[in-house]
Structure 1
Amino acid sequence: MRSIASKLIINQDGGEGSTDRWAKLAKQAGRFRILIVGRANAGKTTILKKICNTTDDPEIYNGRGEKVDGSTLEPTAERGIHDITNEMIFRSNPGFTFHDSRGFEAGGVDEFQKVKKFLSDRAKEKKLKDQIHVIWYCIPMNDSRPITNAEVQFFSKMGTGKVPVVAIFTKCEALELTAIEILQGEENISFRDAAKRAPEYAKKNLWNAHLELEKQKFSPQGHVYLQEMQMPHTECTELVECTASVLNGDTLQALFVSTQQVSLEISVRYATK
C-alpha cells in the first residue's frame, strides 16, 4: 500500500501537482523509527496496528536483520525478556520501524539502564534512518494509579536528548467507569447519581495525571488521549497530529507524515506548507 502523501495532489489550477520537495526529504531520511514504551496491557500493540492500518502481527528482526520467532519474545522464567534492539515491522507499512520497551517496573533499574543505553547508542548512529526519531510513552488509564514510580523515573531522570517524547494516555474510556465505582463507594450515592458526576470526575483525574508529568524535569513534548482503540471505527489521528507537531525539522516531519496511513488531510496540509 502506498503512503498517503505519495498520492498526487490537485493544485489550484486543476492540474496534478506533485509533492516533489516533500518526497525528496522523506527519501533522504529513509525509514521512520519509533521507540514505544509502556507496561504490559498498556495498549501498545493496538496503537501500532492502528497506525499501520492492519490487524496482522508485526514481523520481528534482530540486530543482524534475521527474522525472529515472535513467540520467543514473550517473557517466561526460562527465556527472560525480549530485546529492545529488535525491530518490529508491519508488512502493511514497512516505512515504520518500531522498538518496544516493556516499561521499567518489571525490569527495575536494569530495564531503565537498557533503555538509556539503547537511546545513547542510536543517537550516535550517523544515518538518520538508524536513529530514534520519537518516543511514544503509553500510560493506561484503566489503572487505579496510572502514574507510577516507573513514569516518574522516566520523566524525571531519562533525558532523551533531541528525541521528543509523546505521552499517550490509553484506555481513557475506563475513567468514567472507575469514577462511578469510586463515587458510589466514597459518597454512598446511587449508580444514576454517580454516572451523572462521573464525566467531570474522570476529566479531573486525567488532568491530574497530565500535571504529574508536566512537573517532571523531562516532561513530554506532547500529550494524546486515546479511548476505545480496540474498536474497528477508531483511529489514531490525534497521535499522528501530535507526533508531527513535536518533530524537529522538515526532514523528519516529511518522513513521518509521508509514511503514516491514517490521515490524508494531515499529509496534504504538511506537504503544501
Structure 2
Amino acid sequence: MDPSKIREKIGRFRILTIGRANAGKTTILQRVCNTRDNPEIFNSGGEKIDSAVLTASRERGEHDIGNEMVFQSNPGFVFHDSRGFEAGGESEFNKVKAFIADRSKEATLKDRLHAIWYCIPMDEASRSFTAGETKFFSQCDTGSIPVIVLFTKFDALYDIEFKKLKKNGLSRKDAKEMAQKHAEESFANGPQLQFLKDVRRPPKCHICLPNMNKDDADCSSLIERTAETLDNEVLQQLFVSTQQTNLDLCMQYAVEK
C-alpha cells in the first residue's frame, strides 16, 4: 500500500514510553522528532491541555497515561508516557497494564498501541532493574505490541570504564579510545541482558543509546530496530514513512516492498 494512503487510513504511529524519572525519555523523543521543542499535550478527546494545568497536575502527583504527546516537528508520531513504576508502585503498574490491554482491544488500527519503548537509564549507581520493572517483564502481557528496551544514558558506562583503564595505568588518551569498546564488552556479559533473557515476557529487542543529549545524537539504530520488530507490514510502512531521521531506511523499505 502507498505510504500516503496508509497515513490517510491509520493517521499516526502510536508509541508508549515507560521509564523512571530522569531516564531521558523526552530527550530521545526530541531526537526522534528532530526538535528541541517540548511536545504539545492533548487529552484523550483531542483537546490541547494548557501547560499551567499540566504543571498543577504534576505538582499534585497526577498523571494521565491517556494524554497524547505530539511534537509539531513530526505530528505523525503520537506518544503516551508512563512515569515508571517507582512513582506509583502497584497503582501505576495496574494503570499501564490496563492501558495496554484497552488499546489492544481498540476496533481500529489507528487507535491501537503500535510499539512500546521501555527506558532503563544506565547512569544510576545500581544499574539494576527495579521491582516494578521486574514485574512488568514477568506479568505484563503486551500481546502483539512489540516492546523494545532502551538502555539510555549508555555513555555513563564509558566513564566507568575510562576510570578503570586509567587506574590500570593507561594514558588518558588510550583510556578514552578504549573505554567505549570495554563498556560494550562488559555490558554484553553483564546482568542486565541476562535478566532480559531469563524473564517470562522478554522484549523483542534492546538497544543502547549513548549521548542522546548532544545536538548530533544519532538515533537511527532505534528507528531501524523498531521497524524490524513490527510484524504488521502496514504498520511497518507507516513507521518508516513517518520517521524523518533515517532516510536510508525509507529507501531500503521502498526497494524491499
| Both proteins in one fold, TM over 0.5 | yes
Distance 1:195 1:155, change over 3 A: same
Mapped contact 1:170–1:227 kept (Cα < 8 A): yes
The secondary structure found in structure 2 opposite 1:254 is: helix
Counterpart position of 2:136? 154
Say whether the 8 Å CA contact 2:57–2:63 is kept in structure 1.
no
- Bigger shift: 110-119 or 28-37? 28-37
Map residues 71-220 of structure 1 onto 2, 5 A cutoff: 71-74=52-55, 79-149=60-130, 150-181=132-163, 189=168, 192=171, 195=175, 198-199=179-180, 201-207=182-188, 208=190, 209-220=192-203
Any gaps of 5 or more consecutive residues in structure 2? none
The aligned amino acid for 2:243 is Q
How far apart, in 2, do the equivalents of 1:54 and 1:164 lie? 25
What is the CA deviation profile of residues 188-211 of structure 1, one whole-angstrom value per residue up to 9, with x for unaligned ones?
Answer: 755749947754652244222222
| Residue 77 to residue 124, structure 1, CA distance change in 2 (3 Å) | closer
Q: State the alpha-carbon separation in 2 of the partners of residues 77 and 55 from structure 1.
A: 22
Gaps of 5+ in 1: 1-19
Residue aligning to 1:16: none
1:229 aligns with 2:212: yes
CA shift, 1:177, in A, is 1.4
Aligned CA-pair RMSD? 2.3
User: Could you report, residue by residue, the CA deviation over 1:218-244 in whole angstroms, capped at 9, with x for unpaired residues?
Assistant: 111011111111111112100100000
Number of aligned residues: 251
**1:173 partner letter:** D
Does the C-alpha gap of structure 1 residues 154 and 71 become closer, same or farther in structure 2, counting only changes over 3 Å? Answer: farther
- Contact residue 122 and residue 131 of structure 1 kept, 8 A: yes
- Higher-Rg member (1/2): 1
CA distance 1:28–1:78, shift in 2 (3 Å): closer
Q: Secondary structure at the match of 2:253?
A: helix
After the TM superposition, which of the residue ranges 160-169 and 174-183 deviates more from structure 2?
174-183
- 1:21 positional shift: 2.9
Aligned to 1:56: 37
Residues in 1 aligned to 2:197 and 2:51: alpha-carbon distance in whole angstroms: 36
Q: 1:97 to 1:182 in 2, by over 3 A?
A: same
Whole-angstrom distance in 2 between the partners of 1:104 and 1:90: 25
Letter in 1 for 2:196: L
| CA–CA separation in structure 1 for the residues paired with 2:193 and 2:53 | 35
What is the TM-score with the length of structure 2 in the denominator?
0.89
Inter-CA distance 27–53: structure 2 relative to 1 (3 Å threshold): same
Residues in 2 aligned to 1:161 and 1:235: alpha-carbon distance in whole angstroms? 30
Distance 1:132 1:265 in 2: 26
Q: Deviations over 1:140-190 (max 9, x none)?
A: 111122232232121111111110000111111110212345678xxx755
Per-residue deviation, 1:72? 4.2
Q: CA deviation at 1:213?
A: 1.3
Query: Are the structure 2 counterparts of residues 195 and 254 from structure 1 closer, same or farther at C-alpha, using a change threshold of 3 Å?
Result: same
1:191–1:145 Cα change, 3 Å: farther
Query: Aligned partners of 1:236, 1:48: CA distance in 2, in Å?
Result: 10
Aligned to 2:47: 66
Q: TM-score, normalised by structure 1?
A: 0.84
Superposed structure 1 runs of 4+ greater than 6 Å apart: none
